[in-house]
Amino acid sequence: MARLNLLEETRFEKLPVKVYKDELSASKKVAKRIAKIIKKRQEKGKKAVLGLATGATPVKVYEELIRLHKEEGLSFKNVITFNLDEYYPMQPDENQSYVKFMDENLFNHVDIPRENINIPDGTLAKEDIADFCLKYEEKITEVGGLDLQVLGIGRTGHIGFNEPGSAPNSGTRLVTLDDLTRRDASRDFGGKENVPTKAITMGIGTIFKAREIILMAWSKKKAPIIKKAVEGEISGSVPATYLQLNDHVEFILDEDAASELTRFDTPWLVKDCSWDKDQIKKAVIWLSNEVGKPILKLTDEDYNSHGMAQLATEKGPAYNINIDVFNQLQHTITGWPGGKPNADDTQRPERAEPAKKRSIIFSPHPDDDVISMGGTFIRLVDQGHDVHVAYQTSGNTAVWDTDVLRYVEFAIDFNRSIGEDTSKLEEIYDNFNKFITEKRPNDIDLREIMDVKGFIRKTEAIAGARYAGLVDDNIHFMALPFYETGKKVKSPVTEEDVKITMELLQKVKPHQIFAAGDFADPHGTHIVCFNIIIEAMKRLRETEEWTKDCWLWMYRGAWQEFDIHDIEMAVPLSPQEVARKREAIFKHQSQKDTPVFPGDDEREFWVRAEERNSETAMSYHNLGLANYEAIEAFVRWKF
């Protein structure tokens, strides 16, 4: 019976999928499977032949394999590896090289013979590539074929670098990279213009020959393409769908990557549900959008014809369900994000007391505060709350080199205008100019250049916070140490990061914390900063009484918005408030027009923010609520 239920739940899924709580637990399971293959082949006196992937996805798998080697004696002496791909052209000692990636993340830490490592050669002359690819295929065959191929998946649906349009029987070859793939790699190369346009990759046909195939994916960022790969029709426009044709493939996902699969996203379409309050709210909002009707106009027939007959039967009639969900949504809307004084707060998202609250807005980068919740920021100040803003990192990696030279030129001219000696500044300028001219993509800046970039972002943040109404004493620059590496890969969080955060919290003793819950940030800084806050609060809650009355609200920024059914506080903005928010964002001039790291969205940050806030307001309106100009949304974190 259990197996029948599982088959019913997964009936939209066209290949086997296993879902784990998080990336770490899933990675450990994959590493265990790899170790089992290695040991089995060792017992038979044979080689274990592994197809390996690069990128962020397999890193924790490799970490666990290293641990198994060092702590449990797993030997790699009988292992032969073939990597999926390599950029072309690419020197093996370049920071972006997959040779360097594999050495740093696995090979340098285990006892694999160097002659057993095979990675496509990015240094070849173009006329030699076809012959190399043929021999790469032949070598895989000569050693007995791949026992296991490990895959990630790109947002184009590529596996390896088999981009849309790749044939299901394709072999190892030179390919042209999709623009989205290059945009996703832009941070590794210091800008999309530095990302190679081509790569050498194993073909889909090569991958299919493996005796086992595991495709791994983590995070909500991968959820849309995972849904297409698992539930969509087989199509050359999504190469990963070809894996549906293979009998030896399995997808290993964390909960976030699996979140858009039907059995998790709309489970009422595949099984009887246990209808709690949150599930009902989500389902009714989904139904309203599906049929294009406001919530209060949904009928029993709508419920019955869209897989929700069970809900209507158990909790109906439909109109009663509609009223309840409508009221829940209406109660999220408030013009008083700090709580409305002298008002009944039983149906409001924030407490009425104390009437004047101490609030800290934590901003991972120096502009997340105004981009993400600039309207609410201004509203809190206007309504008389004691608002503080804390910029967690300097954001110094996201400033153009030309801005550094421009600001030093300004300093030289200013000093000259007041009769000061400029020889030292001119020497610094010449050193900066020489370094920048010779700098390669993703080289670490001189410390002095990093400082200037940090000063630029600091002055912009001060201007934005002042525009929102803050006094300087309430503007805090934390410069958390984990970030200050000067490179895209940041240091691990240390005790010092948590200590700095605890000290600020103890100083302010806030009633409200606003923190970035935008974990789709492609650079990872947001979730690191958020986890530091949570750890600091967790420790403080053991000894500090004020923490028991401190609420934490998560906001989201330039990368995504909360789903409507998750929103717990919706702050509407008037057209005038939208304009004020825009002006606050404009204070961040170094991020205007084309920022250094825009992600895969080519819109300017202020445009993204306005359109996202407008879309949230329209989503509320389409559900039958008032038609606001814009809405900023928040979800409360429960300690």
The residues that are catalytic are 163
Q: What is the 3-state secondary structure (H, E, C) of 491-539?
A: CCCCHHHHHHHHHHHHHHCCCEEEEECCCCCCCCHHHHHHHHHHHHHHH
Cβ 216 vs Cβ 30: under 8 Å:
yes
List helix spans (H) across 249-357.
262-265, 277-291, 300-304, 309-315, 318-332
Burial 100-112 (b: 16+ CB within 10 A, else e): bbbbebbbebbeb
Q: What is the 3-state secondary structure (H, E, C) of 52-80?
A: ECCCCCCHHHHHHHHHHHHHHCCCCCCEE
Q: C-alpha angle 265/266/272, rounded to 5°?
A: 130
Number of neighbours of residue 17 by Cβ within 10 angstroms: 20
Peptide bond into 598 cis (omega under 30): no
Based on its alpha-carbon atoms, the radius of gyration of the chain, rounded to whole angstroms, reads 27
Cβ 200 vs Cβ 173: under 8 Å:
yes
Number of neighbours of residue 164 by Cβ within 10 angstroms: 16
Q: C-alpha angle 269/271/276, rounded to 5°?
A: 90
What's the Cα-to-Cα distance from 173 to each of 150, 164, 205, 566, rounded to whole Å?
19, 15, 11, 45
What's the Cα-to-Cα distance from 112 to each of 42, 50, 188, 335, rounded to whole Å?
13, 12, 27, 62
Round to whole Å and give the CA distance between 628 and 574.
Answer: 7
Cβ 164 vs Cβ 181: under 8 Å:
no
Among 88, 94, 93, smallest CA distance to 123 is for: 88
Cβ 384 vs Cβ 356: under 8 Å:
yes
Any idea what DSSP says for residue 367?
A: T
